[in-house]
Structure 1
Amino acid sequence: MAKAVLDKKLAASVNILPKASSLYFWNGEIEEATEILLLIKTKTSKVHTLSSYIRLMHPFEIPEIFSLPIDRGDAHYLKWLEESMKEE
């Protein structure tokens, strides 16, 4: 999934954090699972398309997808982020 997101230029970078232990409510019950967490770095303008694409590929009925805005960051990193997602 991470490679597919990068191939489509929907993100500049993906961190893969394996073996995340998760507890959550599902159908009124507490579920426990081991999951893989992806931290996907993208632009706000790509979040909707990225979310739609992940929902198509993800095995869960409701995958955990949310966005956190960046209000500040290293200028060099932010420039790299922008340039990494440019369509060729």
Structure 2
Amino acid sequence: MSRYRNARDVLPESLIREIQKYVRGEHLYIPQTERTEWGARSGARAELERRNKDIVQHYMDGIAIAELAERYHLSEERIRGILYEEHRE
């Protein structure tokens, strides 16, 4: 989702000249001052958290790891990782 913008569209000419003293004709990354966590904006993070809680609950209800892996289309190792992560918290 990387979008490049022309500096002339967003920066004053005086600032562009100052930056050109240090960098000419190269791509320059300017980090954000505040970042949102992965998936926070799209809702993907919340969806995965809900799925993981469901997996833990199903496991506690007696559903086997192999069945959970098949049901959620994950490897048994990933199911174990989810169960371990939830247990640590």
Taking structure 1 as the reference length, the TM-score comes to 0.28
Name the one with the larger helix percent.
2
Name the one with the larger strand percent.
1
Using CA pairs below 8 Å that are at least 6 residues apart, which structure has the higher relative contact order?
A: 1
